[in-house]
Amino acid sequence: MSVPTKSIIDTRRYQMFPTLEPAEIERVRRFGEVRSYRAGDALAKVGDKGHGLTIILDGKVDITQHDESGPRRLIVTQNRGEFIGELAQLAGQPALVDVYAQGPVEALIIPPERLRALLVAEADLGERIMRALILRRVGLLETGAGGPVIIGRAEDGDVLRLEGFLSRNGHPHQRLNPATDLEAKALIERFHVDPGELPIVLCPGGQLLRNPSENELARCIGLVGPIDPDHLYDAAVVGAGPAGLATAVYAASEGLSVLVLDRRSFGGQAGASARIENYLGFPTGISGMALMARAYNQAQKFGVEMAIPDEVKRLEIGSNPDNGKFVLTLSDNERVSARSVIIASGARYRRLNVKNLEAFESSSVHYWASPLEGKLCAGQEVALVGGGNSAGQAVVYLAGQVAKIWLLLRGGDIQASMSRYLVDRIAGLTNVEVVTHAEITALEGTDGTLEGIRWRQGALGKEIRRPVRHLFLFIGAEPNTDWLRGSGVTLDAKGFVLTGGNAASGRGPLETSRKGVFAIGDVRSSSVKRVAAAVGEGAQVVAALHAFLAPALPLQAVAAKH
Ligand SMILES: Cc1cc2nc3c(=O)[nH]c(=O)nc-3n(C[C@H](O)[C@H](O)[C@H](O)COP(=O)(O)OP(=O)(O)OC[C@H]3O[C@@H](n4cnc5c(N)ncnc54)[C@H](O)[C@@H]3O)c2cc1C
């Protein structure tokens, strides 16, 4: 008999929906303004931006989930002393739920920037509110409430791409199967969608997208908006991996205005790690996504602006390099101006040198092993190439989901490149078979679906074929530095960014050959490729930022920032 899993709303209700005491409400009144509503008025509607936190002073409100085909679903009713909001309110992003007054309501409205000030100024109360906002987002993620609806087959490469994008950005969504779901069929008919145009995405605001890019989807659901080209940020951080997020948190908490850009999602490579076991302070390990989501929320709490997904294509340096302004050009030709730039663009996965790899990359070849991929491969036979720690972690995670894993190593000794604890764990997994000196010789399949792979063990070994439908590649990384071409930032022979004395004389430890441009984390030449090292460099660079920016800032501002 299967045990029904309890939703987070059942298990953490008291933390998700706390009631503020009258004295607490009095303390936070200074952050907002009081507004009155009549019965039936909307306090917030899905897609509306910039609401902030709403504390009910009198009356009752219903929080409901918008449903395309049926009646509105009540999530919860909030009474006097309770508050409305979830994580989107921290950054002024669109509301994910509708809120209606049951009768006359009086409420204290705290806009996003004042909410962030409240969270910092009122430590204990701020912690309770922040926890509630996070748990509410988790609740929405569980149910998919308030997010876009993707209509397409689970194994379709574009569905995987869009679902992966939304999951990695911590955004709720639902997927409907066009073959079996009546609601999906109704929507396809209503919008006259040809089967060849699937997947389609229905945004909460009612817009329909046909197989959108990640950027189109992000704009439709309000994850990114236009950037003001006239605003001069103190620091523009390129990359929202652990290094970039650490800089963002420390710089913003010390008063600098910070914009973080990432072309994919927050978390970087660390976000792809099924379980990080060597990060200080987490003795039982933590999933990379959970660690990075905490950092992302923390950065938003301190007022960091996020432009995700937005790809930086070029860096231009102002005419006065000692005190100049830097301009970043984005893929859609938008421009960002900043007084300093932090290169935290990390590294990307190396691809396998097999001729038809690209044909299978959207649905059968994976560079991550998250629960999404785990579900996709459940009960099947898979192959994984790689001998480093990231490969080891993926094997340990996938072994619990799949029937069999072939771990293909180019070298002859797994211990040469993998930490001892992972080697030991893999040795204890009965469904993992390690093949040394292996080289993949062919990928077979049709219409982008892998049906089998062939490999040879040693140059003279015989070719082996297995009916593997999913291939995981963890074969190292190359630096993301293409966008620095023409910027004057010096790279080493492998394309990593040089810093300190290796870049130019008189440069600080994390400074590049261009003054005011810093490099941290995996993208930096000779860096230690670890989450903790990236976070450490992200924190360390903030002192260098202050030193560089101080002469450019008015004296009053400098005093306020320290
Ligand atoms: C599967 C896996 C498991 C791992 N497990 C561990 C572990 O257990 N312990 C550990 O210590 N380390 C682990 N690592 C290594 C660790 O994740 C990295 O060292 C760390 O993430 C580096 O952080 P970073 O911020 O420097 O760069 P990254 O994490 O690479 O982040 C860089 C970010 O920059 C963005 N970006 C790149 N170019 C651009 C551009 N032009 N415009 C905008 N954005 C851009 C990318 O999208 C990316 O999000 C693992 C790595 C992987 C892949």
- Cβ atoms 483, 438 nearer than 8 A: no
**Which burial class, exposed, middle or buried, applies to 102 when counting CB atoms under 10 A from its CB (0-12, 13-18, 19+)?**
middle
Q: What integer pLDDT is reported at residue 536 of this predicted model?
A: 98
Residue type, 89: Q
Measured CA to CA in angstroms, residue 214 lies from 43, 149, 309 at distances of: 30, 14, 7
Q: Is the CB of 521 under 6 A from ligand 1?
A: yes
Q: Is the CB of 244 under 6 A from ligand 1?
A: yes
Task: Give the atom of ligand 1 at the shortest distance from the alpha carbon of 537.
Answer: 26
The continuous run of DSSP H or E covering 479 comes out as: strand 477-479
- Tens of pLDDT along the chain (562 residues) come to 444 567 777 778 889 999 999 999 999 999 999 999 999 999 998 888 878 999 999 999 999 876 655 567 888 899 999 999 988 888 888 888 899 999 999 999 999 999 999 999 999 999 999 999 999 998 888 877 778 999 999 889 899 999 999 998 989 998 999 999 888 888 898 889 998 889 999 998 788 999 999 999 999 998 888 899 889 999 999 999 999 999 999 999 999 999 999 999 999 999 878 788 889 999 988 999 999 999 999 999 999 999 999 999 999 987 665 556 899 999 989 999 999 999 999 998 888 999 899 889 878 999 888 887 898 999 999 999 999 988 999 999 999 999 999 999 999 999 998 999 999 999 999 999 999 999 999 999 998 899 999 999 987 888 999 999 999 999 988 999 999 999 999 999 989 999 999 999 999 999 999 999 999 999 999 898 889 999 999 999 999 999 999 876 554 444 444 4
Q: What integer pLDDT is reported at residue 258 of this predicted model?
A: 98
Query: What is the C-alpha to C-alpha distance for residues 84 and 43, in angstroms, rounded to an integer?
Result: 9
Q: Is the CB of 268 under 6 A from ligand 1?
A: yes
Q: What integer pLDDT is reported at residue 556 of this predicted model?
A: 46
- Cβ atoms 459, 289 nearer than 8 A: no
Query: Which DSSP string do the residues of 50-97 spell out, in sequence order?
Result: ---EEEEEES-EEEEE--SSS--EEEEEE-TT-EE--GGGGTTPPPSS
Helices (H), 346-494: 357-360, 371-376, 389-399, 420-427
Q: Is the CB of 309 under 6 A from ligand 1?
A: no
Q: How far is the CA of 341 from the centre of ligand 1 (A)?
A: 18
Q: What integer pLDDT is reported at residue 142 of this predicted model?
A: 82
Q: What integer pLDDT is reported at residue 560 of this predicted model?
A: 47
Q: What integer pLDDT is reported at residue 323 of this predicted model?
A: 56
In the block, tokens 């300093």 appear at: 340
